[in-house]
Amino acid sequence: MRSIKNLHRQLVEKKDKITQSMNLHKRLVSTLRCLPTEVLFHIFIYCLPEVKYPSPAPNLAPILFTRIC
């Protein structure tokens, strides 16, 4: 019986940690959406590659932004 109670307690703790993590991530997304369009525009323009014909790379803008959004 103790092992079942112990397992239950562990599951509840893990659930609480996951819920906290989800709430933190939701706040991050909502903060990003609060930025004015003009600010986002400047961020994207600033991050554009300087070469005329860049090769897409997953760790560079603008492809990198798809992992954030």
Whether 29 and 4 share a structural domain: yes
Q: What is the pLDDT along the chain (69 residues), one digit of tens a residue?
A: 679 899 999 999 999 999 999 888 876 666 667 788 898 888 888 888 787 887 878 877 777 777 765
User: Structural domain of residue 21, as residue ranges?
Assistant: 1-34
- On the 0-12 / 13-18 / 19+ scale of CB atoms within 10 A, 34 is exposed
Whether 4 and 30 share a structural domain: yes
Instruction: Report the domain count for the chain.
Output: 2
In sequence order, what are the residues at sequence separation of 6 or more whose Cβ sits closer than 8 angstroms to the Cβ of residue 62?
44, 47, 48
C-beta separation of 47 from 62 below 8 A: yes
Whether 25 and 46 share a structural domain: no
- The model's pTM is 0.40
